Structure 1
Amino acid sequence: MLQIDNLRKTFDGTKSERRSRVVAVDDLSLRVEEGQMFTLLGPSGCGKTTTLRCVAGLEHPDRGEIVVGDRPLFSDKRGIRLAANERGLGMVFQSYAIWPHMNVLKNVAFPLEVLPRSKRLPKKEIRARVERVLAVVQLEKMADRPATNLSGGQQQRLALARALVMEPPLLLLDEPLSNLDAKLREEMRFELKRLQRELNITAVYVTHDQVEALAMSNRIAVMRDGRVEQVGRPREIYERPSSRFVADFIGTSNFIDGTIESHETGDIYLVGTPQGRIRGSSSADLPVGEKVAVSIRPEYVDVQKGAAPTSDVVGRWSGVVQTRAFLGESVDHVIRVGELELRARCHPSLSFPPDTEVTVTLQEKMCSLIPVGE
């Protein structure tokens, strides 16, 4: 559906910057399949919004190619540069950008009413399409209400309806939930996901919120400094990060420095660390002696009261609880093992006070090995 190849976008640097151009998107390539919710995730300044604006036609890339379906929107090699209003894409902005002087119905109808006369639909058909879209976003009973009298969640749905009414081949969403409070934002995640699946919408979603990306996406591209660090399904990104940056950015992770001692079976390696040996997995071919970081999420660190009866069991160590925090659905413990501090996330029924001796067991299937420097 969407193909981006070798996209590059630079901006003028400030006077204090030595470089004359600042690279926002650096040779980026992506493919979004039809019907996917594809998320660009990363910290501020990583290039995710610039990439989205290049697809929308709101920024002009320096080079590369952007194709939606079989229709090229931009190609420096072929001399193609369609304006934003010629691309036929839907876009929902962070600020919603609804018209305050119009009611709900007129806000949604506006994009259809300003089309060139040759492409404009009859008034009756415009009305029917608007009513159909309002029903989809559950605003049909508010059609005559002034747009300014809507709640934040209703305004978000109105902005979505205005984008959907054009029946675009691709929907672009630029952090549309960031202005909502936490509870409403969680509700709207499920609402957006429901609409996307029911209508089989192909969408590119930009966010810096890791939970949002994991909850809503079919695939995620984690970006850093204008480049894609890793692309994959949410569970793959979370459980099998390909770099320390991805593991650190997506949620919380423990990092344990070690050295490859042996390659066991398949993608399983035995790693030596100052705390003891661990088994972990990697799709890369790691030679004996290579330095790695073992990444494991806190929820995959099991905790039992009492010191380990023996110290030679792989991935099972004795430690002492340093502190704990009750988080509602879980209790986080910080446990010192030698010079290492491990975070373990336990069921709320398990809570060990500070100075308690415990045994930690690292679930080896959930230990990912990341070569040092990646």
Structure 2
Amino acid sequence: MSTQVTVKDGRLAVEGLVKTFKSSKGEAEDVVRAVDDVSLSVEPGRLLTLLGPSGCGKTTTLRCVAGLEHPNQGEIAVGERVLFSSSKGVRLPANQRGLGMVFQSYAIWPHMNVRKNVSFPLRARRGKDRLSRKEITERADRALAVVQLDHLATRPATDLSGGQQQRLALARALVMQPPLLLLDEPLSNLDAKLREDMRFELKRLQRDLGVTTVYVTHDQVEALAMSDVIAVMSNGKVEQMGRPTDIYNNPRSRFVADFVGTTNLIAGEVESREGDRYVVTTPQGRLAARSPGDLATGAQVIVSVRPEHIQVAEGEASTSAPGVWNGTIANRAFLGDAVDHLVSVGDFTVRTRCNPSIRFSRDSAVHLTFPSEHCSLLPA
């Protein structure tokens, strides 16, 4: 039997999505905009992650796409099919959208075995969409083979481990051959090691099957490891959308720089400019940084630089060139694959990250080098 699961091409397009809730006060005029004019798109076969802290609107956006929440305005389409449109008066219920969804809790049926859990969505079909018993069994077994659970088809679902239950929930979503797969923090209930393993497994399955996927998480490492595209959300809005490398290396706002990974945020003022290279004056010293935007001399800015991009060397530097600071090791932390050093520069602390073979003792004098190509300028 073939282990190939057929999925339809599904381009997701969301335009001007708004979803409001009444505040806890219950007053009609006092509402919370959980999703505030969100527009995004996902190309067929790609994985988009909605990333952000609790309450940023990422899960509400996903639930609007699934049909579990009714937006106030906007439009949602998968392929050529409009699922919701406030202007066209379209509002398809969740059971008519044909999308696959994996919840945080997996929602496994405890009284069914593994095969019956997977086949349940097919057995629930009625009318012209109803399949024969043989077709249902074949499609269920095919989905189980894809997630490598076919040898457990007759086992009670409650006897599965956490990782196996997660794969069972994924098989149940894939058996519908959906044009779009929605994953709402599906790894949050797993322990750290299994979670890391399942990241690679989920990404492998998604890429092999070519199913368009929207993934919700607040875990930055998870988003960077799995995504083709990331949309960072805050207060119901998309702060920045792009490839993981662009989001990490070229944040466009202080929120994105601070939320995605670890960074040093250094306040300063633009001193001069040469092309896209700026010299910034800060209380600790001068820095050279790059920005695609247009910033005037004297503009208040924030320089964002990742700890691993800062070079640390022993002793004080004699040069006063931009991007070279003298400091003292204040503390250090061994992380296994790296060592973090906290370096005091006056009353400011810079966090650096080095190879574990490089270690400096506490209170030793060092100098820091900030490569301009790794320093991003953000508006203050």
Q: How far apart, in 2, do the equivalents of 1:328 and 1:180 lie?
A: 22
Q: How far apart, in 2, do the equivalents of 1:26 and 1:129 lie?
A: 40
Please list the CA deviations of residues 28-67 of structure 1 after superposition, one character each: whole Å capped at 9, or x if unmatched.
Answer: 1111111110000000000000000000000000111001
Contact 2:327–2:367 (8 Å) recurs in 1: yes
Distance 1:17 1:261, change over 3 A: farther
Q: How far apart, in 1, do the equivalents of 2:44 and 2:294 lie?
A: 33
The residue aligned with 2:48 is: 38
1:248 is displaced (CA, Å) by: 0.6
Q: How far apart, in 1, do the equivalents of 2:308 and 2:29 lie?
A: 44
Partner residue of 1:137 out of 147, 153, 158: 147
Q: How far apart, in 2, do the equivalents of 1:315 and 1:84 lie?
A: 55
Structure 1 runs of 4+ aligned residues shifted over 3 Å read 16-19
1:16 is displaced (CA, Å) by: 7.9
After superposition, where does 1:275-286 map in structure 2 within 5 Å?
275-286=284-295
Contact 1:13–1:19 (8 Å) recurs in 2: no
TM-score, scaled relative to structure 2: 0.96
CA RMSD of aligned residues (A): 1.1
Q: How far apart, in 2, do the equivalents of 1:162 and 1:332 lie?
A: 43
Partner residue of 1:261 out of 260, 268, 271: 271
1:15 is displaced (CA, Å) by: 2.1
The residue aligned with 1:179 is: 189
The residue aligned with 2:3 is: none
Q: How far apart, in 1, do the equivalents of 2:336 and 2:227 lie?
A: 26
Structure 1 gaps of 5+ residues are: none
Partner residue of 2:326 out of 305, 318, 332: 318
1:17 is displaced (CA, Å) by: 7.7
Give secondary structure in 2 for the equivalent of 1:197.
helix
Q: Which amino acid aligns with 1:50?
A: T
Q: How far apart, in 2, do the equivalents of 1:176 and 1:363 lie?
A: 38
Give secondary structure in 2 for the equivalent of 1:118.
helix
Contact 2:22–2:28 (8 Å) recurs in 1: no
Structure 2 residue 314 is matched with structure 1 residue 305? yes
1:18 is displaced (CA, Å) by: 9.3
After superposition, where does 1:214-229 map in structure 2 within 5 Å?
214-229=224-239
Give secondary structure in 2 for the equivalent of 1:94.
coil
Q: How far apart, in 1, do the equivalents of 2:29 and 2:219 lie?
A: 31
Q: Which amino acid aligns with 1:73?
A: L
Q: How far apart, in 1, do the equivalents of 2:239 and 2:29 lie?
A: 24
The residue aligned with 1:116 is: 126
Give secondary structure in 1 for the equivalent of 2:127.
coil
After superposition, where does 1:210-249 map in structure 2 within 5 Å?
210-249=220-259
Partner residue of 2:360 out of 352, 357, 362: 352
Structure 2 gaps of 5+ residues are: 1-10
TM-score, scaled relative to structure 1: 0.97
Q: How far apart, in 2, do the equivalents of 1:17 and 1:347 lie?
A: 56
Q: Which amino acid aligns with 1:367?
A: C
Count of matched residue pairs: 370
Distance 1:277 1:14, change over 3 A: same
